[in-house]
Each structure stands twice: as structure tokens, then as C-alpha cells.
């Protein structure tokens, strides 16, 4: 249960005000500082029917500049309180970050660099909508030190994109992909959703093959979910459209098989990459490492050296965030809960969970926790849904197979018993 704002001793106060107390000044020694930073840009021109992320319509040109000021002030506060180490990853997500001009993105990145050092090979990612892609913009992003572009394609079916009120149509998506291929020197990741209403098995596979032909190093392939509170949920509930989840699983499996055949390795439940092109920022989450989130609605987690942690979520009141007056929510995470989260995130990946790293973090044998000899893991291994990988002395990886990942939630439920 979330703690009351300001309760407990942690290096982040409930208020964004950056005047650490005496207790807070000594707090960071208990924590593992974050070397990954996420910046949330919550503005969109329109909201897609399936989207359940926090976003707001961009109805004034003045908010973005003030928003950058507030985000940089928050990041400086995190750094002053000892929560940020030199960055190995920076991820600018949303919302639609590409609504900001290249000059604004440059100001954000250079502002962050002035607060906390970047590692020489820092992975710097920007999410973008295909509608915003043009040669001058890509050149500006390159000059802003963006090194990885995450392009929200979602579908290449005209009917599908129209059905969920996606801002970019299929023609514009292809134009953006052509533009990136000709003008972008950095890495490219693309998002695709299986099962968007209006998609057919034929149009989905055609779109996936077309996208693959552009050679993105990384593809995130999701199965659509109908989430309560979204416009799509209301349409499905009213019987205006059939539930797309019924077809999504079949399409996703076909997409997975195609990508693996063509050289994109599934390294996480929904993510595929060419060798060496895995998203290092997302691996921070899946490996349960500390990370800082900045921006309205952003969340962050700092792990303590005793295995416990705490998580904070910034206010979604943008006006309050801009004035740095609105409290954030802080959630205390016990050592036991952190242990389960570690397993939950680690087993999402094909790499699985390292016995050595788990013991270093929690002081508990992984084999005992997951039932490697006679419990849940052993039973799944007998069914060919899990496997052990011996890599070095005193280190064994325990992971689900590709087939086992399809039943991840059931496996995690068994670990909870």
C-alpha cells in the first residue's frame, strides 16, 4: 500500500522541493544510485483508442518550454540528493516526445548532461510519431545526440490505423520509414501491435514483412489489450467492435515466428532484436536495477542495499508539476516483495534469472526460492517449458523457454504459492 507522502526516510521527499533534510543527506548511502533516467513527455495531438498511458492534448505552445524547465529542475534535485549516477541510458518517452522541436530536445539532452555525466556509450532514445519525421528533424535529433529512435508504427494497415484514430496513416508511416532509412545514422526501433481492429491475418503479416524490410535493429511486437477506461474498451463493451484480443494471440504468434526466422531474437516477452541491439534501458527494468523517472506521471524505483526498495510516482497534475508544488506518491517495497518483482521481471526475458546475482541481492539461494529441484521450476522444466543454463562456477541461469514465456503469468502464480 502506498505510504503517506513524506513518510519514512528516503532520498526523495514527497515534495519536488529540492532541499534535502539531514536524514535525506545520509540516505543515499543505503541505496543503489540509478544510472538510467526516463523522462516522460505527456503531450499528444490526439489519443489512440487503445492507449491507457498518461497523456494530455497539447493545446498551448507555452507548456512545453515550461515543462522542460520543470523536468530539468526535478532531475537536478535527484542528482543533488545522490540518487543519480553517471548515465548509461536516457529514454525520452511519452506521450509524443517528437512534438517537441529538435531544438527543444537538444536543450533537454544538453541540460541533463550539465546535471549528470553521460557514460561514453550512453544509449539515448527518443520515441517519435511517424507524422513528425522529416529530414531536417532527423538532422536536428542527430545534433542533439539522440542515438536511438523508437518509431511508433503500430500497423501498416490503412483500415486498422483508421479504426483506432491513429494520427499517422499507413502511407505516412511508409514515408517516415523511407526518410529514416535515407537520413538517420543511428539505431532504429519500431513498435507494432498485433490484433488492431480492422487488421486481418494477411494484412498483419504483410505489414510486418514490409517493416522488417526496412531493417530496424529492434522491433517491439505487442498483442493488443482492451484496457478498462480506454475508448476501445467502451466500443467493445457496447458491441460496436468485436473483441480484438481473440485474434491478437494468433497474429502475435505468427509474427514471433516470422521475426525469429528472419534473425530478430526474442529476448523478452514482447521484444525482438538483432544481436547486440537489445534495448539497454528496458533491460534496466527487467534486471530490477534502480532508475529515475522525471516528468509529470513518471515513476522511479531505488533499490536499497538490503534488498528492499521504494517507488515513487509523480503527480499527473501538470499544472502542479510545473509549479513544483504538488506531492508525489511514495510506495514502500519490502524485501520479500522486491524479491518477487525481481523474479517477475527477470523471467520475462529469455536470459532468465542468475543464481549468483539473486544471491548477491537478497542473500537467498535462487534454487530454493523457485523450486529448482522439486518445486514449480522443476515441474516446468520437465514439461520443456523451462531450462537451466550453467555459465560459470556458482552461477546458473534459470529461464523459461519460448513456449514457456507464453504462460508466464501462470508460472509466476505458481511461484507465489
What pLDDT is recorded for position 29? 58
Residue 306 lies in a domain: no
Q: Measured between alpha carbons, how far is 151 from 149 in angstroms, rounded to an integer? A: 6
**Which of the four pLDDT bands, split at 50, 70 and 90, describes residue 13?**
low
- For residues 52 and 192, membership in a common domain is answered with yes
Q: Which of 245, 263, 285 is the last residue of a domain?
A: 285
CA distances from 55 to 51, 161, 298 (A): 9, 19, 11
Judgement on whether residues 31 and 170 belong to the same structural domain of the protein:
yes
Helix (H) or strand (E) holding 224: none
Flag whether pLDDT at 133 surpasses 90.
yes
128/134 Cα distance (integer angstroms): 11
- How large a percentage of the chain has pLDDT more than 70? 91
Question: Is 74 inside any structural domain?
Answer: yes
Q: What is the DSSP string of 303-354?
A: EETTS-EEEEE--S-HHHHHHT-SPPEEEEE-HHHHHHHHHHHHTTBSS-EE
Kindly tell me if the per-residue pLDDT of 142 is higher than 60. Answer: yes
Tell which of 285, 316, 334 closes a domain: 285
93 domain residue, yes or no: yes
Sorted by sequence, the CB contacts under 8 Å of residue 2 that are 6+ apart come out as 329, 330, 331
Domain with 405 in it: 352-417
Q: Are residues 265 and 133 in the same domain?
A: yes
Is residue 1 scored above 50 in pLDDT?
no
Query: Could you tell me if 153 and 192 are in contact, meaning their C-beta atoms sit under 8 angstroms apart?
Result: yes
Model pLDDT for residues 360-371, shown as the tens digit of each residue: 999 999 999 999
Query: Is 324 inside any structural domain?
Result: no
Predicted local confidence at residue 338, as pLDDT: 97
User: Domain for residue 34, yes or no?
Assistant: yes
Boundary residue ending a domain (285, 303, 331)? 285
Q: Given pLDDT bands bounded at 50, 70 and 90, which one contains residue 18?
A: low
* Pair 122, 241 in one domain: yes
Question: What is the chain's percent helix, strand, coil content, to nearest 5?
Answer: 40, 25, 35
Per DSSP, the three-state class of 249 is: helix
Residue pair 219/189 in contact (Cβ under 8 Å)? The answer is yes
Per-residue burial over 32-53, b = 16 or more CB atoms within 10 Å of its CB, e = otherwise:
bbbbbbbbbbbbbeebbbbbee
Q: What is the pLDDT of residues 383-396, one digit of tens each?
A: 999 999 987 767 89
- Residue 1 in domain: no
Phi-psi category of 342—alpha, beta or left, where left has phi over 0 and alpha has psi -120 to 50? Answer: alpha
Mean pLDDT of 271-287: 97
Q: Is residue 245 part of a domain?
A: yes
The three grid cell numbers given for residue 68, joined into one nine-digit string: 522542460
What does the DSSP 8-state code read for residue 365? Answer: -
- Is the pTM higher than 0.85? yes
Whether residue 44 is found in the same domain as residue 154: yes
277, 187: one domain: yes
Please report whether residue 340 resides in a domain: no
Q: Are residues 277 and 357 in the same domain?
A: no
Number of domains in the chain: 2
Domain check: are 278 and 360 in the same one? Answer: no
Q: Strands 84-94 and 34-41: what pairing?
A: parallel
Q: List the single range of 47-56, 94-103, 266-275, 407-416 with lowest mean pLDDT.
A: 47-56
What is residue 177's three-state secondary structure?
Answer: helix
* Average pLDDT, integer, range 93-111: 95
Q: Can you name the residues that pair with 124 across neighbouring β-strands? A: 90
Q: What is the edge-to-edge ordering of all strands in the sheet holding 265-268?
A: 265-268, 271-273, 218-223, 187-194, 148-154, 118-128, 84-94, 34-41, 292-294
231 and 118, same structural domain? yes
Q: pLDDT digit string (tens) for 201-234?
A: 999 999 999 999 999 999 999 999 888 888 888 9
Q: Domain check: are 277 and 367 in the same one?
A: no
Same domain, 241 and 385: no
CATH no. for residue 52? 3.80.30.20
Distance CA 292, CA 315 (A): 15
Q: Which helix (H) or strand (E) holds 361?
A: helix 355-362
Statement to judge: residues 255 and 358 lie in one domain: no
Amino acid at each position: 500500500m502506498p505510504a503517506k507522502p513524506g513518510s519514512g526516510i528516503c532520498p526523495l521527499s514527497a515534495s519536488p522541493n529540492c532541499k534535502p533534510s539531514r536524514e535525506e543527506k545520509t540516505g543515499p548511502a543505503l541505496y543503489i544510485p540509478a544510472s538510467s533516467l526516463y523522462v516522460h513527455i505527456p503531450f499528444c495531438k490526439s489519443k489512440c483508442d487503445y492507449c491507457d498511458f498518461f497523456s494530455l492534448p497539447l493545446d498551448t505552445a507555452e507548456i512545453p518550454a515550461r515543462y522542460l524547465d520543470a523536468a530539468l529542475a526535478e532531475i537536478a534535485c535527484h542528482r543533488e540528493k545522490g540518487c543519480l549516477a553517471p548515465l548509461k541510458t536516457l529514454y525520452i518517452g511519452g506521450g509524443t516526445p517528437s512534438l517537441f522541436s529538435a531544438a527543444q530536445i537538444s536543450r533537454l539532452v544538453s541540460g541533463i548532461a550539465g546535471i549528470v555525466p553521460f557514460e561514453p556509450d550512453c544509449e539515448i532514445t527518443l520515441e517519435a510519431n511517424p507524422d513528425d519525421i522529416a529530414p531536417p528533424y532527423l538532422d536536428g535529433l542527430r545534433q542533439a545526440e539522440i542515438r536511438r529512435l523508437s518509431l511508433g508504427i503500430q500497423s501498416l494497415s490503412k483500415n486498422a490505423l483508421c479504426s483506432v484514430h491513429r494520427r499517422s496513416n499507413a502511407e505516412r508511416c511508409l514515408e517516415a520509414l523511407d526518410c529514416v532509412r535515407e537520413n538517420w545514422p543511428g539505431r532504429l526501433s519500431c513498435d507494432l501491435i498485433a490484433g488492431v481492429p480492422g487488421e486481418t491475418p494477411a494484412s498483419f503479416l504483410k505489414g510486418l514483412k514490409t517493416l522488417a524490410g526496412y531493417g530496424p535493429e529492434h522491433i517491439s511486437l505487442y498483442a493488443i489489450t482492451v484496457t478498462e477506461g480506454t475508448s476501445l474498451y467502451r466500443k467493445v463493451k457496447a458491441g460496436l467492435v468485436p473483441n480484438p484480443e481473440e485474434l491478437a494471440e494468433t497474429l502475435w504468434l505468427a509474427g514471433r515466428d516470422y521475426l525469429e526466422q528472419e534473425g530478430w531474437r526474442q529476448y523478452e516477452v514482447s521484444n525482438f532484436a538483432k544481436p547486440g541491439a537489445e534495448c539497454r534501458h528496458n533491460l534496466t527494468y527487467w534486471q530490477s536495477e534502480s532508475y529515475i523517472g522525471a516528468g509529470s506521471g513518471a515513476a522511479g524505483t531505488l533499490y536499497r542495499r538490503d534488498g528492499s526498495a521504494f517507488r515513487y510516482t509523480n503527480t499527473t497534475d501538470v499544472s502542479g508539476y510545473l509549479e513544483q508544488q504538488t506531492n508525489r506518491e511514495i510506495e514502500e517495497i519490502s524485501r520479500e516483495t522486491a524479491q518477487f518483482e525481481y523474479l517477475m521481471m527477470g523471467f520475462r526475458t529469455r536470459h532468465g534469472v542468475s543464481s549468483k546475482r539473486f544471491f548477491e541481492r537478497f542473500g537467498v539461494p535462487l534454487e530454493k526460492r523457485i523450486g529448482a529441484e522439486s518445486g514449480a521450476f522443476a515441474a516446468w522444466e520437465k514439461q520443456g517449458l523451462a531450462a537451466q543454463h550453467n555459465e560459470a562456477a556458482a552461477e546458473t541461469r534459470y529461464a523459461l523457454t519460448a513456449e514457456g514465456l507464453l504462460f508466464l503469468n501462470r508460472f509466476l502464480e505458481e511461484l507465489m504459492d
